[in-house]
A and B are shown apart, each in its own frame.
Chain A
Amino acid sequence: MTRRARFSLFLAGASCFAVLLVLAVLGLPGFGTTRHQYRDHAVAAAIGHGTANVVSAVNFDQRGIDTLGEESILLGSVVGAAALLRPARREQDHAPAGGGSVLEATRLAGYVVLAVTLLLGIDLIAHGHLTPGGGFQGGVVLATGLHLLYVAGRYPALARLRPLASFEVGEGLGAAAFAGLGVAGMAVAGSFLANVLPSGSFGDLLSAGSVPLLNVAVGVEVACGTVILLAKFLEQAITITGP
């Protein structure tokens, strides 16, 4: 099709569909109203299991199977992207020489921020069942933090700190731990992904049953997976050259 034909076809379809969408939205209960049936049940269930962050309770306790699926998507996408970004038959992977020239001050700032982000990431994971954050958010922060080394001008340092094979191991183990905890729930309480650990007292670090453990599993998987992803893209952009 010509660009024009394509555009007209799209516009015709989209405008018809938009009419339906507008009619549909006018049938919604309005923005910010008070009726949320699932919410009422979910909050009660979270409090019952001593989980102060209800979003974590939904993600890891009540609808844990969704998160298992989500972690599998992450695992599959990372493995898939890594496989797609492997060097092709005629390509070469050569590491760049030297550290590049970066101002000392920038480098120092990079290292300081690195330390802070690593701490922040661990904190986010550890308190995921109490405060906003959790395995996913913390994992992303950890992985991005590690890549501040690149900003600090040290691609070789980054490459050393980043033995990709062990990150793959970590990713696999993190995902396996999540599924394994699910199976443990089946063995102990007779139901897959059942929250088998004691709930503890509401708001404590050791509360919410197995939610903190699941957070750690997800944190490890996400951190390792994101590192692998970014590493593969960096490799493509920096060290892999065509025939």
Chain B
Amino acid sequence: MRYYAFFVAGWLLLIGCLGIVRSRNLVHAVAALSVCQSGTYVLLLAVGFQWKAVAPVFGNTLPTNTPVVDPVVQAMTLTDVVVGATVTALLLAMAVQIAKRQRTVDPDELSALEG
């Protein structure tokens, strides 16, 4: 348990890359890229976690000296989630247009760029 979360994060990062390498469909490659990115979410939140601490949201009842988990990594992850979502949208838009121009989204068959 001491390192498990970090290993999961690293695994997601690498397995996402493998997904892109093996992919036969650009839409799938984009999804695999978002798996890579979820590795960064897991890493950041795992870094900021603390056992027996609560969420860093005091509301108006929680005493302000209660131990909370790290809010900074959560803010970073939030930014990361937004960035990931919007960039993925952009990538999907390109994949759709590629499908229209080349009638395929299989990287093995795309041939507009060589050499």
| B57: contacting residue among A14, A28, A131, CB under 8 A | A131
> Shortest CB–CB separation between residue B20 and chain A, in angstroms?
9
The answer to the question of B31 belonging to the interface, with a C-beta cut-off of 8 Å to chain A, is no
Centre residue among B47, B50, B61 by max chain A CB count within 10 A: B50
A233 contacts B78, C-beta separation under 8 Å: no
| A26: contacting residue among B3, B5, B64, CB under 8 A | B3
| A39: contacting residue among B10, B68, B86, CB under 8 A | B68
CA distance A74 to B89 in the complex (A): 10
Restricting to A37-66, which residues have a CB under 8 Å from any CB of B?
38-39, 42-43, 46-47, 52-55, 57-59, 63, 66
What is the size category of the interface that chain A forms with chain B? 35 or more
Which residues of chain A are near B67, meaning CB under 8 Å?
34
A52 contacts B57, C-beta separation under 8 Å: yes
A55 contacts B57, C-beta separation under 8 Å: yes
A18 contacts B87, C-beta separation under 8 Å: no
Closest to A232 in B: B93
> Shortest CB–CB separation between residue A23 and chain B, in angstroms?
11
Restricting to A1-18, which residues have a CB under 8 Å from any CB of B?
3, 6-7, 10, 14, 17-18
By a beta-carbon cutoff of 8 Å, the part of chain A in contact with chain B is: 3, 6-7, 10, 14, 17-18, 21-22, 25-26, 28, 30-34, 36, 38-39, 42-43, 46-47, 52-55, 57-59, 63, 66-67, 70, 73-74, 77-78, 80-81, 84-85, 88, 130-132, 136, 202-204, 222, 225, 229, 232-233, 236, 242
Task: Given contacts A31-B49, A32-B50, list 9 more A-B pairs with CB under 8 A.
Answer: A7-B22, A14-B18, A31-B4, A43-B56, A73-B82, A77-B90, A202-B60, A233-B89, A242-B100
A54 contacts B17, C-beta separation under 8 Å: no
B71 contacts A31, C-beta separation under 8 Å: no
| A25: contacting residue among B3, B50, B72, CB under 8 A | B3
CA distance A52 to B62 in the complex (A): 9
A58 contacts B2, C-beta separation under 8 Å: no
A57 contacts B79, C-beta separation under 8 Å: no
Which residues of chain B are near A229, meaning CB under 8 Å?
86, 89
> Shortest CB–CB separation between residue A57 and chain B, in angstroms?
7
B59 contacts A130, C-beta separation under 8 Å: yes
The 3 closest A-B pairs by CB, nearest first: A203-B60, A77-B86, A58-B75
* Count, chain B residues at interface, CB 8 A: 51
Closest to B71 in A: A54
> Contacts A18-B14, A46-B71, A73-B83: A34 and B58 contacting too (C-beta < 8 A)?
no
> Shortest CB–CB separation between residue A201 and chain B, in angstroms?
9
> Contacts A77-B90, A85-B96: A66 and B75 contacting too (C-beta < 8 A)?
yes
